[in-house]
Amino acid sequence: MRKRTLSGMRPSGKLHLGHYLGALMNWRDLQEGNDCFYFVADWHALTTEYERTEVIGETIDDMVIDWMASGIDPNKSTIFIQSHVPEHAELHLLLSMITPLPWLERNPTYKEQLREQTSRDLHTYGFLGYPVLQAADILMYDASFVPVGIDQVPHLELTREIARRFNFLYREVFTIPEAYLTETPKIMGTDNRKMSKTYGNAILLSDTAEEVWTKVKPMVTDPARVRRADPGNPEICNVFSYHRIFSDPETIEKVNVGCRTAGIGCIECKRWMYDRMEKVLAPIRERRKEIVESGVSVRGLLGEGTRRAREVAVRKMNEVRDAVRI
């Protein structure tokens, strides 16, 4: 049976391998046989970027081109911009009335971000309410599946709680959604920290093959392998984690043994990994080029999607207002 699927991403410009492996691969695969809605979460970007809003608009096109290069097909999926469907704001308001404050205050992502993002003041009403807005995005479309990275699971849990509370207080209006996660282990940045464009440790979907190799070549390996003759421990090597993601079982085993016995060198090992990674990246790069050269209007496609999304949202909001009797 076709399932309604929905997911969003904050506009952050060019995307990296973490976005692809953590979410976009599932976005793409779910298009076959499901009814998919994918949107640009520009209001969510505003919760942290309210002081430099110009970056939000500028980054939308690059991001959506990377979606399409990854296989998101606007003929199969509805792609749109959150702020162009103002019904999301109304639903956010109604949900905010029934969301207990402690549910938001104890949210681990919220607490972590407050601690980490010291360069910005995030003690705002909007930032605390981030997951309520996310709940509105999801519940609006009666999504059954929400393909996201594992970091979004607490937000999904909160969405489920809010939906249950609404259904209990008024009537059964909302579908209880489920996170749809990938099997792929989380990829770290080339320096073994969280992969992020701001750290400069990310492999971008738009990088050229040469740029990718320039990032892979200096990756830190087992620090005990100072010389070629020193045996290594692949378990503590980030290159090996990448092999686990990209390589076939035989290559992984060959690396595992070769590393421990100093039978292979690190550059050779990186080269094998790079070749495998390129099998994933090259087709994305190729499609990206085709999309850019075709001169297709990304904004035009988003406009069409917005119209379709709004039809669903307008209908749903009638149902919601009716249930609340307002």
Which of ligand TRP, ligand SF4, none lies near 41, with the C-beta cut-off 5 to 8 A by kind? ligand TRP
How far apart are CB 38 and ligand SF4 at their closest, in Å? 36
Does 130 bind ligand SF4 (CB under 6 A)? Our answer is no
Closest by CA to 281, choosing from 195, 210, 183, is 210
How far apart are CB 232 and ligand SF4 at their closest, in Å? 4
Does 152 bind ligand TRP (CB under 6 A)? Our answer is yes
C-beta nearest to ligand TRP: residue:
8
Q: Between 110 and 272, whose beta carbon lies closer to ligand TRP? A: 110
Identify the three-state secondary structure at position 79: strand
Does 9 bind ligand TRP (CB under 6 A)? Our answer is yes
The conformation of residue 170, written as its DSSP 8-state character, comes to S
Per-residue contact flags (x/-) with ligand SF4 for residues 137 to 166, judged by CB under 6 A? ------------------------------
How far apart are CB 225 and ligand SF4 at their closest, in Å? 5
Mind spelling out the 3-state secondary structure of 277-313? HHHHHHHHHHHHHHHHHHCCCHHHHHHHHHHHHHHHH
The conformation of residue 235, written as its DSSP 8-state character, comes to G
Give the Cα separation of 192 and 206 in Å (integer). 21
H-helix or E-strand spanning residue 139 = helix 130-140
Give the Cα separation of 146 and 127 in Å (integer). 21
Does 276 bind ligand SF4 (CB under 6 A)? Our answer is no
Q: Between 171 and 228, whose beta carbon lies closer to ligand SF4? A: 228
Give the Cα separation of 227 and 258 in Å (integer). 14
Q: Between 195 and 205, whose beta carbon lies closer to ligand SF4? A: 195
Does 134 bind ligand TRP (CB under 6 A)? Our answer is yes
Identify the three-state secondary structure at position 7: strand
Q: Quick one: which of 82, 182, 201, 221 contacts ligand SF4 (CB under 6 A)?
A: 221
Q: Quick one: which of 20, 141, 166, 240 contacts ligand SF4 (CB under 6 A)?
A: 240
Distances (CA, A) of 257 to 223, 228, 234, 238: 18, 15, 9, 16
Sort residue 10 into left (φ over 0), alpha (ψ -120 to 50) or beta: beta
Q: Quick one: which of 8, 18, 74, 305 contacts ligand TRP (CB under 6 A)?
A: 8
108: Cβ contacts below 8 Å, ≥ 6 apart:
154
Site for ligand TRP in 154-213 (CB under 6 A): 155
Point out which residues bind ligand SF4 (CB under 6 A). Answer: 221-222, 225, 232, 234, 237, 239-240, 255, 259, 264, 266, 269-270
Point out which residues bind ligand TRP (CB under 6 A). Answer: 6-10, 41, 44, 134, 137-138, 146, 148, 152, 155
